[in-house]
């Protein structure tokens, strides 16, 4: 019973702390640069090695809003991103350049001049360039359309009219890189790209 009372008290304190900043609507636009540790999840597992890339940039819009004019915890974020992804199997490295549109709910808890961020959402994308070692080009078995989910979080530093976000996000594709029958009609090979993105975003408050 004591634990229940403590939990209720914590929730009430959380709500009261955010009521002070409630009825706020904030619009932010910014640019993002990210360090990408990308890899490949396969069935069956062939132990693909991750590739690290720096050429990952985004134009980002974020909207923070309250709920019922009392709880200032919610946000919406959308972006247009260009990323470099890849993986290594044996001596062969495969790289992709991808245009992605991520859309996430960004929950935030504000304190002092900072925000604690929690992200959850999805993305759609298009793989427009491929290179296998030194050979470029897709074949008829490759899939260019990409989609999946995103989870992550980070910290924001509010320095009006600017705001700096430092985040780590995990991005997992639910679309295959290519047909499971690309290498064999009888033994299917499933491929799911994945990335860990460590990013910094500089925003301007509108």
Does 5 have pLDDT greater than 70? no
- What is the CATH classification number for the domain harbouring 108? 2.40.160.20
pLDDT > 90 fraction of the chain, expressed in percent and rounded: 78
Torsion of CA 194, 50, 176, 147, to 10 degrees: 30
Specify the pTM. Answer: 0.85
Q: What long-range pairs does 95-99 form, CB within 8 A, spacing at least 24?
A: 95/51, 95/53, 95/130, 95/131, 96/127, 96/129, 96/130, 96/193, 97/127, 97/128, 97/129, 97/130, 98/125, 98/126, 98/127, 98/128, 98/146, 99/125, 99/126, 99/128
pLDDT given at position 18: 44
Q: What is the pLDDT of residue 20?
A: 42
pLDDT over 80 (residue 70): no
Query: How many Å apart are CA 108 and CA 104, to the nearest integer?
Result: 12
Does pLDDT of 135 surpass 90? no
Query: Looking at residues 58-80, what average pLDDT do you find?
Result: 89
Considering its fold, how many domains does the chain have in total? 1
Domain of 101 in residue numbering reads as 2-205
What average pLDDT does range 122-136 have in this prediction? 93
- 180, 152, 176, 178: which is closest to 165 by C-alpha? 152
**In whole angstroms, what is the distance from residue 171 CA to residue 104 CA?**
12
């Amino acid at each position: 019973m004591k634990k229940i009372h403590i939990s209720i008290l914590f929730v009430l304190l959380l709500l009261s702390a955010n009521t002070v900043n409630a009825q706020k609507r904030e619009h932010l636009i910014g640019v993002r640069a990210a360090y990408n540790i990308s890899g490949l999840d396969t069935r069956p597992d062939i132990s693909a090695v991750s590739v690290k890339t720096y050429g990952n940039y985004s134009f980002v819009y974020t909207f923070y809003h309250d709920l019922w004019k009392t709880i200032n915890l919610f946000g919406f974020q959308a972006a247009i991103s260009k990323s470099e992804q890849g993986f290594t199997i044996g001596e062969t490295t495969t790289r992709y350049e991808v245009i992605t549109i991520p859309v996430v709910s960004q929950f935030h808890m504000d304190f002092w001049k900072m925000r604690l961020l929690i992200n959850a959402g999805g993305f759609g994308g298009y793989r427009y360039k491929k290179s296998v070692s030194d050979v470029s080009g897709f074949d008829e078995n490759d899939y260019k359309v990409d989609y999946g989910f995103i989870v992550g979080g980070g910290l924001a530093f509010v320095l009006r009219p600017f705001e700096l976000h430092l985040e780590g996000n995990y991005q997992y594709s639910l679309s295959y890189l290519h047909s499971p029958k690309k290498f064999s009609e009888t033994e299917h090979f499933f491929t799911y790209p994945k990335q860990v993105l460590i990013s910094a975003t500089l925003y301007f408050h509108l």
